[in-house]
Amino acid sequence: MTDQELEIQHRDPSLYNEDLAPIKKRDRNWGWFEIFNVWSNDIQSLFGYTLAASLFISYGLNGWAVMAAIILAGIVVMWLVNLTGKPSVKYGIPFPVMIRASMGVRGANFPAMLRAIIGIFWYGVQTYFASTAMALLLTALFGDPGGQFLGMSLIGWLSFVIVWVFQIALFWQGIEKIKHFLNWAGPLVYVVMVALMIIVWFQAGSDLLPAVGTIFSGESEYQGSAIGAFLAITGTMIAYFAAVVINFGDFTRFVRSEREMKLGNLLGLPLNVAFFSFIALIITAGTLALFGETLTNPSDIIERVDSLPLTIIAAITFFAATVGINLVANFIPPAYDLANLFPSKISFRIGGLITAGVAFFVGALWVSVISQIGIAGFVNALGAIVAPFYGIIVVDYYLVKHQRLNIQDMFSSDPDGAYHYVKGWNKRALAAFGLAALFSISSVWVPALEALGGYAWLIGAALGGAFYFLLMHTQREPIAAHS
């Protein structure tokens, strides 16, 4: 579309503000490198490493098989985000505006709110994980005075507050500053992770590489088949990326072309995940060989290695990577989603402050309460809730709307508008979500469906799309369109 076509002619204040408006093509300056760094920071965050490392010891599989399952998840996620990213490259709109096409101009507030809640949760959790890197740095420099409250030391609490304030300050500088932050944080973390891998490998000796295939075989209480374990690992890693997959348009609206988006996804997902999972495999196996136990938090590993220069450099880079992806994946989306609720009252910045305020308490309670339900279960549950919206968005854009949207009607409350449906709500889309979400969340929490837990996101997304297509097919809505 041309910049002239992206100019909104009739702006309903209850649906429009400058933050939600389409970004003109001349104003987009993201390329493949920026998209690559979105994924590299996501994967290399402390939470991402901890999740990947825990998968090596949770299912009793050959280490190489676990690595293959993680890479397969990267390939699947690349395919998924290419589908959701494409319309925002074309129209320059964020997720809460994009989903107006399927849910209705008012109904879009429902998925936006759910996505905001999930983003706020992730933001709080990642803030805690980033604070462990800061705590590592402060402890190395000044020592630990002791004392504990709600599972965190005094240094831990100080670190948590420092990270929380730092993220708000960086967010306040705008998307350009965040982009530059990501572009140096991602590559730098790789340097530190490779250095840590070499150190662990060297200390563990030449027997480490042959042993990684069998070293985890006795570590798990998992009772299912090897194939079931392989698929569960793949499903859990897909669920880890779930929130970003659904609202990937929040980032691709800044990208210059679809080709650059796809190249960034290729380099940032399958290829990046392959290298990262190899690093995680070697380091996790090395900690078992060296220390007699598997350490899944890089901060704990660096503490054991006992090298002050490495500790300082690693703490800074882990902190940077975790903060970077936290801002992009868990701060920006809720800020858009909250702005979508009341565009005339809540700006992008105000939405961000609300996100940070609520997330503070989530991060503060992570150790003592939230983490007790288990990382994999936490990831799967959050992913399952929003999974149906992925299917609804994709089916609506590609099969119902045939890749043509009326960008003007997305910001109009006119009863005759293409996306007004019934008082601004598409009841068929709401019904499709309800049916699919009931099943996908049940697969996580109902014991009888426990075997499906790792596939909750994929099941929910597929059912959401299938139900939506069937319900919309019964009575097609008239669509005014722009090519």
Q: Which domains does the chain have, with CATH numbers?
A: 25-473 (1.10.4160.10)
Please state, in angstroms and rounded to a whole number, the distance separating the CA atoms of residues 401 and 394: 10
- Sign (positive or negative) of CA dihedral 78, 98, 246, 88: positive
Contact residues for 195 (Cβ-Cβ < 8 A; gap 6+): 310
Which pLDDT value is given to residue 248?
Answer: 92
Contact residues for 264 (Cβ-Cβ < 8 A; gap 6+): 31, 32, 33, 34, 35, 36, 38, 39, 255
Query: Residue 153 phi/psi, 5° resolution?
Result: -75, 175
Which pLDDT value is given to residue 482?
Answer: 44
Please state, in angstroms and rounded to a whole number, the distance separating the CA atoms of residues 1 and 100: 19
Please state, in angstroms and rounded to a whole number, the distance separating the CA atoms of residues 455 and 367: 26
Query: Residue 20 phi/psi, 5° resolution?
Result: -90, -20
Tokens for 16? 């429009």
Which pLDDT value is given to residue 444?
Answer: 73
Helices (H) and strands (E) in the chain, counts: 21, 2
Please state, in angstroms and rounded to a whole number, the distance separating the CA atoms of residues 78 and 261: 10
Please state, in angstroms and rounded to a whole number, the distance separating the CA atoms of residues 48 and 125: 11
Which pLDDT value is given to residue 477?
Answer: 46
Which pLDDT value is given to residue 221?
Answer: 61
Which pLDDT value is given to residue 453?
Answer: 59
- The 10s digit of each residue's pLDDT in 156-170 is 999 999 999 999 998
3-state SS string over 107-120?
A: CCHHHHHHHHHHHH
Q: How far is CA 86 from CA 218, 252, 448, in A?
A: 44, 8, 38
- The 10s digit of each residue's pLDDT in 15-63 is 998 889 999 999 999 999 999 988 887 787 777 778 888 888 777 788 8
Please state, in angstroms and rounded to a whole number, the distance separating the CA atoms of residues 444 and 380: 7
Tokens for 67? 């690595």
Please state, in angstroms and rounded to a whole number, the distance separating the CA atoms of residues 468 and 473: 8
- The 10s digit of each residue's pLDDT in 182-198 is 888 878 877 878 888 88
Question: What does the mean pLDDT of the chain come to?
Answer: 84
SS3 180: helix
Tens-digit pLDDT string for the chain (483 aa) = 777 778 888 888 889 988 899 999 999 999 999 999 888 877 877 777 788 888 887 777 888 888 899 999 999 999 999 999 999 999 999 999 999 999 999 999 999 888 888 888 888 888 988 888 888 888 888 877 777 777 788 999 999 999 999 999 988 888 888 888 888 887 887 787 888 888 888 888 877 877 776 666 655 566 677 888 888 888 888 878 877 898 899 999 999 999 999 999 999 999 998 888 888 888 888 887 777 777 777 767 777 777 777 778 777 777 787 787 788 778 888 888 998 888 888 888 899 899 999 999 988 888 777 777 665 566 666 667 888 999 999 999 999 999 999 999 999 989 999 999 999 999 999 999 999 988 888 877 787 776 675 677 888 899 999 999 999 987 654 444 444
Answer whether 214's CB lies under 8 Å from 60's CB.
Answer: no
SS3 482: strand
Q: Cβ of 345: how many Cβ atoms within 10 Å?
A: 12
Which pLDDT value is given to residue 222?
Answer: 66
**What is the signed CA dihedral for 126, 21, 472, 457, rounded to 10 degrees?**
-10
